[in-house]
Amino acid sequence: MDGEVNPSMLLARIRKERYGARPSSFILNVSIEVPPGITILFGASGAGKSTLLDCLAGLVRPDDGQITVGDEVFFDSARGIYLPTPKRRIAYVFQTLALFPHLSAEENIAYGLSDLQEQEIRERVTSILNLFRVEKLRKQKPTQVSGGERQRIALARSLVTEPRVLLLDEPLTGLDAELKSAIVDDLRAWNAAKRIPILYVTHSREEVDALGERVITLDSGRVVSAGLPTDVLNAPRRKKLAQAAGFENLLSASVLDLRETDGVMRVRLLESACEIEVPLGYATPGTVVQVAVRAGDILLATERPRGLSARNLLEGRIMSLEQRGTMVIARVDCGPTFLVHITPGAVRALELTAGRRVWLVLKTHSCHLVD
């Protein structure tokens, strides 16, 4: 993006200290740029995501820094500029949605349009109700509609104001997959048409994969990494982030030897005899490292496999099988316990049961070292 002047880029450099009830005070100290399009804000809870959004919206005043959208200055501590929330023309969909309970869907959506002529308000409300397929709910109160419909109404209420920036704080939490993907499609269509900076907070890998053009990851109030979703999330550098990004297996291991020419090192998982090969990291023999493996990246076999390129083969026993939606979570005891995701079909075809002897196959590059 260097050199390119983008008329609606959101730039923020924010420092905000919070003295909470917790013993250590929290400091948000970030510098981000959000070009038009969807940028995912990713991080464990307590990483500062909501505080960051509140600062951008003007609901929380940063101690120090600058916030600009294009050439408009929202906040500049050096020049003493602080644009109040109602003047920022930002849309913000809260995690709780915050629909007005005493107003109908239609009145909620029209709330942000009070400056317009009645005729135009009616047209805009009708067109956005249609876009989000909630036309038939226009007279209903938020308590009278379903969760997914509430989420759509909240999105419609924010987008109808034609905002310059859109902030979404986990707007799809708690919806089932089908509904989620329908709303995600709506949002993508809207994004394609308007191209404004959208900052989207989520914990969900699915939403990241479906929506994200870029990802910013936060941890303890700091930006840990920023870039393409695949680059950022597939190689988590921090343990907390690994947990948030869906790395179900986090194992401690001691380094045995480094094989620089192959770009790998051998480690032994602590409290076991299992030795595996992982990508080379900054470590010396004898040090303890953390290895993260996604449960979906592990293969499970009922006989000792041969002729595989994968370097890591662990023998173990199934402790339990647990059905979760369309997925089965197997706990496998190989010394340390691994979580493995498999399909119900595979469970039937392989006749997997608790107590069965199995082999786990791990590709070297599915094993990630985290700090």
Count how many residues are written for the chain: 371
Contact track, another protein, 262-281, x by CB under 8 A? --------------------
90 binds another protein (CB under 8 A): yes
Out of 29, 39, 161, 225, which residue is the one contacting another protein (CB under 8 A)?
Answer: 161
> Shortest approach of another protein to residue 57 CB, angstroms?
6
171 binds another protein (CB under 8 A): no
DSSP class of 261: G
Check if the beta carbon of residue 57 is closer than 8 Å to that of residue 14. no
45 binds another protein (CB under 8 A): no
User: Nearer Cβ to another protein, position 107 or 213?
Assistant: 107
What DSSP line would sit under 288-338, residue for residue? Answer: EEEEEE-GGG-EEESS---S-S--EEEEEEEEEEEEETTEEEEEEESSSEE
**Angle, in degrees to the nearest 10, between helices 177-194 and 147-159:** 10
Contacts to another protein from residues 306-335, by CB under 8 A: none
What DSSP line would sit under 154-180, residue for residue? Answer: HHHHHHTT--SEEEEESTTTT--HHHH
326, with CB counted inside 10 A (0-12, 13-18, 19+), is exposed
**Angle, in degrees to the nearest 10, between helices 118-131 and 147-159:** 140
82 binds another protein (CB under 8 A): no
Contacts to another protein from residues 176-205, by CB under 8 A: none
Out of 102, 139, 317, 357, which residue is the one contacting another protein (CB under 8 A)?
Answer: 102
Residue 124 corresponds to which amino acid? Answer: R
Out of 14, 47, 69, 91, which residue is the one contacting another protein (CB under 8 A)?
Answer: 91
> Shortest approach of another protein to residue 246 CB, angstroms?
28
Residues lying near another protein in the complex (CB under 8 A) are found at 57-59, 84-92, 94, 96, 98-102, 111-112, 114-115, 141, 143-144, 157-158, 161
